[in-house]
Every structure is written in structure tokens, then in C-alpha cells.
Structure 1
Amino acid sequence: MVSPTKLKSVDFYRKIPRDLTEASLSGAGLSIVAALVMMLLFGMELSSYLEVTTTTAVVVDKSSDGDFLRIDFNISFPALSCEFASLDVNDVLGTNRLNITKTVRKFPIDPHLKATGGEFHSGLASHHINHGEEIKQEFPDGAIQLTNGGFQSLSHHFPLLIVNFNAPWCYWSNRLKPSWEKAATIIKQRYNPDTDGRVLLGSVDCTEEPALCRRNHIQGYPSIRIFRKGNDLKEDHGHHEHESYYGDRDTESIVKMVDELVAPIHPETHKLALDWGISNDTAKLLKKAPVTGGCRVEGYVRVKKVPGNLVISAHSGAHSFDSSQMNMSHVVTHLSFGRMIDTRLLTDLKRLLPYLGQSHDKLDEKAFINQHEFGANVTIEHYLQIVKTEVITRRYGQEHSLTEEHEYTAHSSITQTYYLPVAKFHFELSPMQILITENPKSFSHFITNLCAIIGGVFTVAGIIDSVLHNTIRLIKKVELGKNI
């Protein structure tokens, strides 16, 4: 067993008896200063330890989210009707997806971008239209030609006014015209406007009556509108609420549709019966017509990670469009690429934002307006260069991805075209990615620096105290020698 005396012999920190030590005012002041310096340096070292340093590198994109990229969007078109608004995607590999509806929603809006109704379902407008056999016989006394002046009076006079808005240059309008005129002749004989007075079929030439067509938000030709007068009549700034017909355009289908609409109206009083009596098949082909000419397109699509285009335009397999009247002005409420930042990372946002370029919302809340009258064949294009930024952390001895952000730069242009105007978002992904690695300091490094700070300040303060003390003693000796 080792004796206490032998054990004391290995003491590195031998003590001087208190009786042999002397306290001084200079030593006390220096001790206070040293303590304050230690506290200051400790705070600075702690702040440095808690602060995460980063290294940035450009590497080949090694995305963990597969070969597809998600695009989220919310874009408002004040002058494009939801009837014909179509979102298409194509890329350099030959992929061409037209009128995507599964993940895309459309809402009618007014010129101030406010929603005017529920979601518009475009399935009714996209089914195959039957035009029937070609009719060579002419029916000059069929549908009445309506003008801007007589339209309002007739819509208030007849319980049902069914109107074919068309254009002479339109292929589909010319396909419909024979069937429409024949159906109008049959309906006129069956429901005489003078004696029965329940229904009237009319036509409007939109090249002759552009104001009337614009007031009813006609953007595709032909468009069949149904104006009602009766218990279901509602006034909206002086205009009747009305419906659109999306069914087949052969004579038989048109006559059947009119018969079912007329059936619930009493011929004597011209009032609607309580039971409309419209079949489910006909009801599916009727839809409330737009009370405004705008549309908000929102949703998401998944595209391949190759250069491609997101195109929004007017599209229909049975309508024609006057490109000079199409206005593709739009407001981008939101457009982003890739996955959104997880809500669990919200607490780290303040720490992450300096690393991210904050350009993932480059087009958000920006308006792109065509100033030309009625459109003038103007296409609005956006060229987007996308680069992925990934932040990796090495906390707790493990390395894992903290967040992935797809940022982009955007360049927009407004150009005139000979084709149908569109809003095009051309996107191209960089094959490289920005890799930001967080490098937190180790705890052992923090403790080492802390010990160096305490020991260093203590040692330096001791040296200063020793020099100061010896200097004072030397001065006193010199003064004492002079006195002697």
C-alpha cells in the first residue's frame, strides 16, 4: 500500500502556504479583468461552435427523386375561357400530352381574378361530336339572324332562346349550319313562334356582331347557348344567366335537345313546370355558360427531366378560334419545380435561407399583360433554366440530405405569331447541381479551445501581474536608496 507521503510526491500542482502569499490591489484588478476577458472569449467561442460553416460544390445531379420532376402552378388568365383552356406538355423526347385534366383544376374568374363559380369540368366539352350526314338541302327560313339590337328583346320575350354563335370562315360552323337550319325549321313548325311562343332558334354571325359575341364571352366557334326566361331567370349586371350545349350537332340530336327543354314549359302561361322532365343524357350535355371570360388554371404535372414545354392555350376538337381575338395575358400566382420544403424544416428556414438562392418563386405574383387590342396574335413565352440545390448536414456523426430545392432563372418575351397564341413555359434542367454541405464543429474541438482560452488568459494575466509586481518593488527600492 502506497503511503500518503509518497503519493504527494507526484503532485504537479504543489501549493504555497497561504501565509507566504500576499494579496495586492493590482493583482485584484488584474484578476477581475482576466475573468471578464475569459467570459468574453468563452461567449465568442460558444457562438462559433454553434454556428455551422458550409462548403459549396457543383457536382453531377444525383437526384434521389427518379427521372421525373413535379411542376406546381397556379396561373390566372383574365381573357381565356375555361371552356377551352387546355394545358399541354411536350419535351424533346417526343412526349406530347394534350389537355391534361387528371391533376389540373380550372375555375372561372372575372377580370379582377376573383372566382365567379365552382370548378369547371371540361369532360363535357371534349367528347367526340357527331355532325351527322351532310345535308345539301337549304332551309332559308330556319334560324332567325339575331343582331345586337334585337337580341335583348327576344331573350326577354321567349322562354327559350337557343342561339348558334358562329363565324362564316369557321370550318366547324359551316359543318353545323345545315343541321342547325334544318333543326330550326322543324322546331319552328312544331312550336310556332306566333301561336306557341315557347322557343326560338337563332344564329349570330360574330364577324358582323363582335360586341354581342364578346358580351357573351364567345371565344370558340360555333358555340350554342341557351337563354332562359322564367322562374330560373337571374340577372347579372343586366345579362341573363345561360347554359351551353356540348352535345352532338346533327339535326336529330338538336331537335331532341330542344324538345326536352320545351317540354316542362306550359304553352299557355310560358311558366316552367315544377318537374323539368329533362333526361339525364340531355342534362349531361348542358352546362352553365361562363358569365365571365377568364379562367384560373392550377394543379401539378410530372415531366421527364429533359428540356420541354408547359403550354396553356385554347383547344378543342370541334371549335375554331380567331387568333386575332385571343388574349393570353396572365398572372402567375405560383410556379415551382420539385418537392416543396417539408413543414418539419420550418424551424431551420432561417438557417437555410442564406444558402438557398431564394429564386424558386421567380415568377410568383408577376403579371404578363398583352397591351395589343383584342390579342393581335401575341404569344407570351417564358424561358426557365432550372438548377437543383441540395443541403446536406453532418450532424451527430451522420450525413443526410436536409432539403432539396429547385431554383430557376426566368426570361420572358412577348412576340407576335401567325399561329394560335399560347402561354408557353419552356423549361430546361441543368445536368449539374449545387451541393451545400454543412460542417458543424466537433465538441472536442470546442473543449480544447475553451481550455486554451482559460489557461492562456490565466497565464498571460499571471505574467503581467508578475512583471507589474516586480516593477513596483524595484521602484520602491530605488526610492528607498535615494532616501538613505
Structure 2
Amino acid sequence: MYTLELASLGDICESKFVCSKSLKIPRDLTEASLSGAGLSILAALFMMFLFGMELNNYLSVSTSTSVIVDKSTDGDFLRIDFNLSFPALSCEFASVDVSDVLGTNRLNITKTIRKFSIDPDLRPTGAEFHSGPISDFIKHGDEVEEESVEGSVVLSANNFDKLSHQFPILVVNFYAPWCYWSNRLKPSWEKAAKIIRERYDPEMDGRILLGKVDCTVEGDLCRRNHIQGYPSIRIFRKGSDVRDNHGHHDHESYYGDRDTDSLVKTMEELVAPIPVESHKPSLEGKVENTTESAKRPAPKTGGCRIEGYVRVKKVPGNLIISAHSGSHSFDAAQMNMSHVISHFSFGKMISPRVISDVKRLVPYLGGSYDRLNGRTFINHREIGANVTIEHYLQVVKTEVYTRRSYKLIEEYEYTAHSSLVQSLHIPVTKFHFELSPMQVLITENQRSFSHFITNVCAIIGGVFTVAGILDSILHNTLRLMKKVELGKNF
């Protein structure tokens, strides 16, 4: 048994010698070489490159886009912002109307709308134009037209300027014979003019004169005073004309009741502050003007810029810009609805900070798809064509969700198709909008940090492994080549 134990110890010693011999690394593998150094440098550069790519991929924004059914609830409203310029539509009658398929019909919206008179070059000519509400229930007289009653003076382009500078107050009725409202006004106007003439004789008193202009005859005179609705009663005051503005006048328009008593009362209130001897307005002795709300500044120019917003239901509908009044008539042949669209968008206005975040996620969002912005629509057809300009808008809702803030924005994009249509009625500008039942959902994808660390470790291990394999192949190839050279020498 002792012999066997000695044998076993010998075997163990022999195995230890073999193990230590097998674990010994060959000298040529531990020696530095130029090829190994180059391979190590390449491996380190490649590792840094892959790490940079992975880091950039982790920090970059990744989004997913899906199309779902619109989640808007019943009763939600959509805001429409716009800035429109009409070179040939007066602010006096410019009206913003809204209608939809559910029966909503709102006329002459003023609360969220601002108007500015502009010249043909779209330049504003003054402060904001406050037209005020035009009543659809103006009182008219019951007088029957009498051929013998002619109290007002017929005005024309030849005598208009002379009389407007001669009398302190010149009140003019711009009318059209075919107009229903002009014909209703005529008996009361002539009777009131006769009463005023008797009380304030133009030759003896000379403070006020009532006149009338037939716009079918004196077309140029009416256009010079920017008359677009009939009848238009204008109040000219001596000394208020602006000579350096092509003879235009700063004057007022009368929108009050049109019966004889109301007209006479208004004229007397205009005359009361003016002394008989001087024919000039007096700063003292003014009487209380009970019809002040019926007189408002008349437009200085024939164009209008309309800006603001309206809120509409999220159903198919129309935004209409037109000349509107319940007590005036309009000559459709003279209406021109040419316009320039400076801005037209759906949804809430987005702040610049939010827009920058949106651009980071989705470069094409943030207002760049407002198709009508900056476009011009001009009616080049001849006068009398009765042309309505229509815009058909298809609106699509887009929502963007981010990992930092749950909901970033709610934006509406639209496509637009425009056309000029022959109309049998008063020409208008119509924006017909229709919302898509589907919406686009853009979501920012969350990237896992553990996945990033795993990829980095995989890069390091993979590069080391590949570098080791290449170094082994290169080393064995060089050693084989050396053996071949030694064999040739022997």
C-alpha cells in the first residue's frame, strides 16, 4: 500500500508540472510588435466611434406616428385666427359671419374682430375703425311720397365741393333709385329737408343744408366718398376736409331712425352749437346729443383689413366675409371681394418656446403648413361679374405627446382649394371648412438606459474579441512565414 501511495504522489507532481507548463504564455506573444500596436490603436478608435454612434442614438429623438379616430368630445369648439385685407370692401359694412350644418348662424361678429381702413396698397389710414352695431330695426316714416315735396338740394360733382365748404353742416343722402330702402327713406328725407330749410333758411341762416346724390348718375362722386350701401347718410362739417389726402373728407355716417321726426331732431342738434353770426362751431353752449350713438365716423378709404378670431363647432361649416346690413341695399355689380390673406390658421396660437420643442420632434409642424398664408386672390373679371371667391379647406388634427410633458401641442393642418364662382347674389368671400374624422397622433419614444449600457458593454467586448482574433491570425501568419523561410535556408 505504501508503494501505491508513492506512485500517486508522483502522478500528482507530474500533473502539476504539466499544468504549469501549459499555463506558461509563449514569449513571442508577450513581446511588443508594431503590428500589434497598430491593431490596438485601430481597435480603440473603432470602439470610440461605435460608442459615439450609440450615444447619439440614445440622445436622439425617436417618434412614432399613428392615425386614430378623432377623440374630440361633443361640444368642443375650434378657434379660427385670420388676418384678411380687402382693398375694395369698406369697413362700414364689412361683416364676419359663421354658419354650420347644425344650424348655427351668427351674423356680424364684432366682439373678437378688429377692423382697420386701408388704402388700395393695403396701408392702414388711421386707427382702428369702430363701426358699432348696425341695427336691423331702423324706424321709417309712414309718409306717402308727394311729388311736390322737394326739400333737399340735388348735388353733383360740379357743386358738391363748393357747397361742402360753404355750409358749416352739409348732410347728404347718397341713394340709388332702384334701392328699396332709399325709396322708403325718400318721403321722410324730403319732408325733413323742407322743415329744416324753413327753420334755417340757407340764405338768411346758412348753417345747414340737406342734399342728395343719385349714385346711378354720379358714380365717381359716390366712389370718391366710398359709398357701398344705399342709402348712406353722411354729415360733412366745414373745415374738416383733408386737402392733402386727394380731397377726402373726415365726416360721420348717420345710422339712426329714418322717420321725419328723428331726422329733424338730429339736424337741429347738429345746428345748435353753431352761432348764426359766425357759421363756425362754438365750444360753448353745446346741447346734449341724444342721438350720438346713431352717428359714427365714416370710412376714410374704401378698403378694410379684418383681423381677429372666431370660435366654431367641430362640424362642417362656413366663415363668410361680406357686406351686410339690414337697412341698406348693395349693388352686386359694384362689389369686388378681392383679398389678401396674411394669416389663416386653426387651433390655439402656439408660443415660440413650444414651437421650438415641436420643431425638435417633428420638423414640419409649427405653422409651416398653413397653405393660405401670404396668398393673394384678385378678381380680374370685369365689373358686374358678381364673383364670389370660395376656399375649401380640409382640416386634420395632430396631437404631439412627449416623455417630459404628457401633451405638448394640439395643432390643425389643412389643405386648401380656391375658386372664383359666378354668383346670383351679393358676392362674398367664403371659407368652407370640414374636419377629418381621423387625427394624427405623434408620440416620442422612450429609450431605455439599461439597453444603452448593454449595447456599450457589447461594443467593448465585441471589439476586444475581434481584435484578439485578428491579432492571433496575424501572429500565426507571421510565424508560419518565418518557419518557411528557415526551411528554405536549411
Normalising by structure 2, what TM-score? 0.90
Decide which moves more: 463-472 or 127-136: 127-136
The secondary structure found in structure 2 opposite 1:237 is coil
Cα distance in 2 for residues equivalent to 1:262 and 1:348: 64
The secondary structure found in structure 2 opposite 1:401 is coil
Matches within 5 A, 1:51-450: 51-63=60-72, 67-126=76-135, 128-230=137-239, 232-235=240-243, 236-275=245-284, 277-354=286-363, 356=365, 360-374=369-383, 376-393=385-402, 395=403, 400-450=406-456
Shift of 1:97: 1.0
Q: Which amino acid aligns with 1:390?
A: E
The secondary structure found in structure 2 opposite 1:173 is helix
Return closer, same or farther for 1:471/1:145 CA change in 2, 3 Å cut-off.
Answer: same
Return closer, same or farther for 1:223/1:160 CA change in 2, 3 Å cut-off.
Answer: same
Cα distance in 2 for residues equivalent to 1:18 and 1:246: 111
Cα distance in 1 for residues equivalent to 2:146 and 2:268: 23
Deviations 1:45-98 (A, max 9, x none): 112222233322221001379522111111111111111111111111111111
Cα distance in 1 for residues equivalent to 2:440 and 2:215: 55
Return closer, same or farther for 1:39/1:97 CA change in 2, 3 Å cut-off.
Answer: same
Instruction: Give the match for residue 28 of structure 1.
Output: 37
Shift of 1:247: 1.3
Shift of 1:440: 3.5
Shift of 1:124: 4.5
Contact 2:75 2:313 in 1 (8 A): no
The secondary structure found in structure 1 opposite 2:329 is coil
The secondary structure found in structure 2 opposite 1:197 is coil
Q: Which amino acid aligns with 2:222?
A: C
Q: Which amino acid aligns with 1:321?
A: F
Instruction: Give the match for residue 458 of structure 2.
Output: 452
The secondary structure found in structure 2 opposite 1:240 is coil
Contact 2:54 2:455 in 1 (8 A): yes
Shift of 1:356: 3.5
Structure 2 unmatched ranges of 5 or more: 1-22
Instruction: Give the match for residue 5 of structure 1.
Output: none
Matches within 5 A, 1:458-473: 458-473=464-479
Instruction: Give the match for residue 481 of structure 2.
Output: 475
Return closer, same or farther for 1:378/1:410 CA change in 2, 3 Å cut-off.
Answer: same
Shift of 1:362: 0.9
Contact 1:341 1:404 in 2 (8 A): no
Q: Which amino acid aligns with 2:458?
A: A
The secondary structure found in structure 2 opposite 1:310 is strand
Deviations 1:136-175 (A, max 9, x none): 4444431011111111111121121110000001111011
The secondary structure found in structure 2 opposite 1:434 is strand
Shift of 1:289: 1.0
Shift of 1:25: 1.1
Return closer, same or farther for 1:73/1:403 CA change in 2, 3 Å cut-off.
Answer: same
Shift of 1:265: 1.9
The secondary structure found in structure 1 opposite 2:407 is strand
Deviations 1:385-437 (A, max 9, x none): 111112223x36xx822222111110001011110111000000010111222
* Percent of aligned pairs with the same amino acid: 71
Instruction: Give the match for residue 11 of structure 1.
Output: none
Cα distance in 2 for residues equivalent to 1:463 and 1:217: 91
Cα distance in 2 for residues equivalent to 1:476 and 1:65: 87
Shift of 1:15: 11
Decide which moves more: 60-69 or 253-262: 60-69
Cα distance in 1 for residues equivalent to 2:440 and 2:29: 66
Cα distance in 2 for residues equivalent to 1:475 and 1:213: 108
Normalising by structure 1, what TM-score? 0.91
Decide which moves more: 423-432 or 36-45: 36-45
Cα distance in 2 for residues equivalent to 1:229 and 1:98: 36
Structure 1 unmatched ranges of 5 or more: 1-13
Return closer, same or farther for 1:119/1:355 CA change in 2, 3 Å cut-off.
Answer: closer
Cα distance in 2 for residues equivalent to 1:475 and 1:276: 124
Cα distance in 2 for residues equivalent to 1:167 and 1:127: 19
Shift of 1:243: 1.2
Decide which moves more: 210-219 or 373-382: 373-382
Cα distance in 2 for residues equivalent to 1:30 and 1:276: 106
Contact 1:327 1:375 in 2 (8 A): no
Q: Which amino acid aligns with 1:325?
A: Q
Cα distance in 2 for residues equivalent to 1:368 and 1:209: 29
Instruction: Give the match for residue 4 of structure 1.
Output: none
Contact 2:145 2:186 in 1 (8 A): no
Cα distance in 1 for residues equivalent to 2:95 and 2:133: 14
Contact 2:359 2:366 in 1 (8 A): no
How large is the Cα RMSD of the aligned pairs? 2.3
Higher-Rg member (1/2): 2
Cα distance in 2 for residues equivalent to 1:78 and 1:291: 13
Instruction: Give the match for residue 19 of structure 2.
Output: none
The secondary structure found in structure 2 opposite 1:281 is coil
Instruction: Give the match for residue 59 of structure 2.
Output: 50
Contact 2:174 2:231 in 1 (8 A): yes
Shift of 1:359: 5.6
* Alignment length (residue pairs): 467
Contact 1:78 1:109 in 2 (8 A): yes
Shift of 1:120: 2.5
Cα distance in 2 for residues equivalent to 1:324 and 1:409: 31
